[in-house]
Structure 1
Amino acid sequence: MKKKSFLLFLTIVAVFFITDRAVYLMLHRIEKEVFTGQSVGKANLFNKVKDSVELLVMGSSRAARHVDPDLFPLSGYNMGMDGTHLGYATALLSSLNRKGQTILVHVDHHEVFNADYMGEDMLALLNESMDSEEMEGFINEYYPEDILLSKMTNCYVYNGKVLGMFKNAFMDSGVSKPTNGFSPLTPSAQQKQTFEQILEKEGITQNIEMPDTLVVNEKFESMVDFAIETAKRNNSKLIFFTSPSLNKVKKGARQRTTDFFNSKGLLYLDDLDFFKEFDIDYWKDRSHMSKLGAEIYSTKLEKDISPFIEVH
């Protein structure tokens, strides 16, 4: 009886293992043909162009919506991704091989001091880690249990991605259009009117809550250190920046942020107050500029970094 139970157990394990690998291979084959959408497409396009461009922009939606690589004298790609932070950006950095790139990484002041941040956004790249030993090693430093799960059941890496991936593969054909990754926002007349009403009611600016004690998050700092080492290895120029916002941060927190990056020997550009006068045409909401505002800011950012980069 025990022997039969053991054989049944082995059979179940074998069926599970074979089914998991087969489904993963099918999903992986579909994924590699998708170059649209944020579930897998933009990362795939990044992998396709990362070693052919001279400028990379990374960070959250405030990177994706605010920096147009076409306004820089370098070939570039904007890998800003909605809902991500430094963990996602540094995981991508781990896969870079090209020498002499300029890498712009967007951060917001509150991210530096957020004690609850654990880098969980990097897990959105678990599927990419299956094809990159460097990325797998990086994620393993922070989330070894997820890497272990991905080894036990390969399909785990597509958790939460399948529907978006299938939509872009079969409904949008998955065909990539020429893009530099920049995703500008163009408010409709109705959206602009709604935003005006919100500002009239609540005021133009709002203050961002910051911790009473401005202690740099240890994991955030370790990711910055990793980014520095990666840039050194590739002889690349690493620059951190904060783009304009209508959300305001106290002077002490801004200075502490500047001091932190300066202590690492990094160039940090704090452009939170770039627009001295409010013009609603420059904004989609308090955190995101419109396409017009982004173009004005991108021109300014290009001028600021030009003394520190080489144009090939």
Structure 2
Amino acid sequence: MPLFSGEVQEWELIRSGKTKVDLAVFGSSRAFIHINPQILETELKQTVYNFGLNGSKFKMQYYRFNLYLKHNPKPKTIVWNLDTFSFSHIDEVFQPNQYAPFMLWNFNLYEALKDYKQTTIWDFILPLYRYRNQTYWKEQIASAKKEILEKDGFFREDGFKSYNREWKVNWKKLKKKNAEFDSQEYVLLEKLIKKCKKQNIQLIFTIAPEFYKGQDYMLNRDEIVSSYKKTLSKYNLPLLDYSDDSISHQQKYFYNTTHMNNVGADFFTKKLASDLKPYISK
């Protein structure tokens, strides 16, 4: 059942250990709705799956990555999309109930979630306690039943889901601000890099397109991207940054400042595939 944009299905797929691919994509929603695995497979001649986690910051993406390596064969290459808000401090994890089916006695998950204020240890040690709000769960299940599934019963196709949505941004309501940067969580980036190096996994980072006018509303955006570049340069790792690419200047490819529509996603993935080829061939 496609609960929470299909995330429950994705978590179960990872835990089942049935995913074996050459190239794995990780990141937030800007990974899972921007990078089309089928296009990458065609262009790169490799098997690909998109493990982008909707609404997530880096901490929970890193948890998904570790869970994936625990239960599945390691990929040859990982493409990881960084956002300028990947390390923003937050008090509440996005859609926390997506984790409910996997909580009981799962203390690795508890460690990943315990710093968020809605997390309680009782969800992890008392059977069925996490489903105490029956009205909520009935509504979620009813909503999920209305979703259109792929032929294999999944909401996403190889982890990917694009949206045919019209541009909808109210510039008057947008306010310029600094993104909170959590230096304690930023250390996870180097942990990821060192782990991939130890396991001989090729690691390539990207920053997917963002509509250029929206970029100005994050005042410390350049500072954050510079931090990424400094860290990746230290380890001689590539960062394919599409912030200033021509695609980021074309509103027709976006439905808001940070998310592309289905046409934009396919257009971007073809460009990404071309840019990945020199690295993959190595």
Task: Please list, as runs of the form range in 1=range in 2, the aligned pairs for 1:281-300 lying within 5 A after superposition.
Answer: 281-300=252-271
Instruction: Tell me the residue number matched to 1:16.
Output: none
Instruction: Tell me the residue number matched to 2:241.
Output: 270
Give TM-score scaled by structure 1 length. 0.66
Whole-angstrom distance in 2 between the partners of 1:277 and 1:221: 26
Instruction: Tell me the residue number matched to 1:80.
Output: 52
Is 1:90–2:43 an aligned residue pair?
Answer: no
Q: Secondary structure at the match of 2:239?
A: strand
Q: Determine which structure has more spread, i.e. the larger CA radius of gyration.
A: 1
User: C-alpha offsets along residues 76-118 of structure 1, whole Å, 9 cap, x if unaligned?
Assistant: 2222233212122111111114134322222222334x3x346
Structure 2 counterpart of 1:223, one-letter code: L
Is 1:221–2:193 an aligned residue pair?
Answer: no
Gap regions ≥5 residues in structure 1: 1-33
User: C-alpha offsets along residues 38-85 of structure 1, whole Å, 9 cap, x if unaligned?
Assistant: 351232234457632222222222112110011112212222233212
User: C-alpha offsets along residues 239-266 of structure 1, whole Å, 9 cap, x if unaligned?
Assistant: 3321111121554443233113323543
Instruction: Tell me the residue number matched to 1:176.
Output: 153
The aligned length equals: 260
Instruction: Tell me the residue number matched to 1:71.
Output: 39
Deviation at 1:289?
1.2
Task: Please list, as runs of the form range in 1=range in 2, the aligned pairs for 1:62-211 lying within 5 A after superposition.
Answer: 62-72=30-40, 73=44, 74-95=46-67, 96=69, 97-112=72-87, 114=88, 116-117=89-90, 120-121=93-94, 124-125=98-99, 127-128=101-102, 130=104, 136-137=107-108, 139-140=110-111, 143=114, 146=119, 148-157=121-130, 162-163=137-138, 166-167=141-142, 176-177=153-154, 179-187=157-165, 191-192=166-167, 198=170, 209-210=177-178
Whole-angstrom distance in 2 between the partners of 1:38 and 1:182: 10
User: C-alpha offsets along residues 159-212 of structure 1, whole Å, 9 cap, x if unaligned?
Assistant: 77834663377666986148212111213xxx35x66xx57xx6xxx886326x
Deviation at 1:276?
5.7
Gap regions ≥5 residues in structure 2: none
In the alignment, is the contact (CA less than 8 A) between 2:242 and 2:248 conserved in 1? Answer: no
Task: Please list, as runs of the form range in 1=range in 2, the aligned pairs for 1:242-253 lying within 5 A after superposition.
Answer: 242-246=207-211, 247-248=214-215, 250-253=221-224
Whole-angstrom distance in 2 between the partners of 1:227 and 1:158: 33
1:276–1:105 distance in 2 versus 1, CA, 3 Å: closer
Percent of pairs identical after alignment? Answer: 19
Deviation at 1:291?
1.5
Give TM-score scaled by structure 2 length. 0.72
Structure 2 counterpart of 1:86, one-letter code: F
Whole-angstrom distance in 1 between the partners of 2:248 and 2:191: 38
Deviation at 1:300?
1.7
